């Protein structure tokens, strides 16, 4: 009887130890999880570069089953990105609401278009860098970047630039640097601002602007169809793949080196547990074959950085862009 009681006691102790161990691991692993659908908010109209990143991320998260809740993409254009930031910050501290952003997240504050900047969001990731491509209609008399330079030097008022960003945004910065690089005053250039690269390309193909500066991903299809001609990129070196035949501005005598980037941010006051969940999900998403295929297809350059590195990156970009926009006469 005593032996039986002893064995029973040992068994009970072992069960208790297992339960305690499981509980300990449960506590250690008990991080934040979404408890309702996630919204990825895009600050531009459908069809632009930011929209492509958001919809690719949505697809990868769902295909890889990285979230236990659905993921939706919401387009909230306006204010050069400020409308989307205001929307996610109406859900302060809530990791279910995130937004894909680009340079206007920084430049809108510098140019005075917004009082909101990188200190008013929670940085989550740098995804990719991307070239800004200068293109003209397929039947344009402008065949090369040098042709555009000649036209700008002859009569700058004859050139209307369509850009897929707000004043001081990535496409506007690239265009302004080119105009400045050929010896013209960027403050005097004729610019039409569009809510997305898709809208800028539509205007270009319709003959409403002379040249467009847009993210690379939105021009590939129209260029392959012969509807637009790619004449230059402002990056420091020629790209490979579908952009291999597009010369840099440096090759055409204009000293410009510029590219844009895509980041993911959440509302201010997100908890460390929410940030940790996004770090884990985004690391897995950007390591997936589907993401790699999208990077190649959309002419991006993979450059994933986690939340900590993204915070430092955005601060360094603010330091870099402030004197640039001041020099272009855009800083307030």
The pTM is what?
Answer: 0.78
d(CA 164, CA 215): 8
Contact predicate 212/172, CB 8 Å: no
Which class in CATH covers the domain with range 38-129+260-327?
Answer: alpha beta
Q: Which residue has the higher pLDDT, 160 or 30?
A: 160
**CATH, domain range 132-252:** 3.40.190.10
Across 66-89, average pLDDT: 93
Q: Which residue has the higher pLDDT, 56 or 260?
A: 56
CATH 3.40.190.10 residue ranges for the chain: 132-252
Across 37-42, average pLDDT: 98
Confidence of residue 30 (pLDDT cuts 50, 70, 90): low
200-204, 238-242, 311-315: least confidently modelled range: 238-242
Q: Is 219 exposed, middle or buried (0-12, 13-18, 19+ CB in 10 A)?
A: buried
User: Is the pLDDT score of 29 beyond 90?
Assistant: no
Per-chain mean pLDDT for the chain: 88
CA angle centred on 87, ends 319 and 130, rounded to 5° = 45
A 10 A CB-CB count for 153 gives 11
133: left (phi over 0), alpha (psi -120 to 50) or beta: beta
CATH 3.40.190.150 residue ranges for the chain: 38-129+260-327
């Amino acid at each position: 009887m005593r032996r039986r009681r002893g064995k029973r006691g040992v068994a009970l102790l072992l069960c208790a130890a297992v339960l305690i161990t499981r509980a300990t691991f449960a506590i250690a692993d008990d991080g934040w999880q979404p408890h309702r659908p996630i919204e990825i908010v895009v600050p531009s109209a459908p069809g632009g570069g930011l929209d492509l990143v958001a919809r690719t991320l949505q697809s990868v998260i769902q295909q890889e089953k990285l979230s236990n809740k659905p993921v939706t993409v919401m387009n909230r254009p306006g204010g050069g990105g400020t409308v989307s930031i205001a929307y996610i910050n109406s859900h302060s501290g809530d990791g279910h609401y995130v937004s894909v952003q680009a340079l206007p997240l920084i430049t809108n504050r510098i140019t005075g278009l917004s009082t909101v900047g990188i200190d008013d969001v929670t940085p989550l990731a740098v995804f990719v860098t991307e070239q800004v491509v200068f293109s003209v209609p397929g039947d344009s008399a402008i065949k090369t970047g040098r042709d555009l330079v000649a036209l700008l030097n002859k009569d700058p008022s004859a050139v209307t630039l369509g850009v897929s960003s707000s004043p001081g945004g990535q496409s506007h910065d690239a265009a302004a640097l080119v105009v400045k690089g050929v010896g013209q005053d960027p403050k005097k250039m004729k610019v039409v601002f569009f809510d997305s690269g898709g809208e800028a390309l539509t205007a270009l193909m319709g003959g409403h602007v002379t040249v467009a500066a847009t993210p690379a991903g939105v021009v590939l299809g129209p260029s392959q169809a012969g509807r637009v001609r790619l004449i230059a990129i402002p990056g420091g070196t020629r790209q490979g793949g579908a952009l291999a035949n597009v010369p840099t501005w440096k090759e055409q005598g204009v000293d410009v080196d510029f590219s844009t980037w895509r980041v993911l941010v959440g509302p201010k006051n997100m908890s460390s547990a929410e940030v940790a969940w996004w770090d884990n999900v985004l690391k897995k998403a950007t390591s997936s074959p589907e993401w790699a295929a999208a990077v190649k297809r959309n002419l991006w350059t993979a450059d994933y950085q986690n939340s900590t590195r993204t915070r430092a990156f955005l601060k360094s970009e603010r330091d870099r862009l402030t004197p640039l926009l001041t020099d272009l006469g855009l800083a307030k």
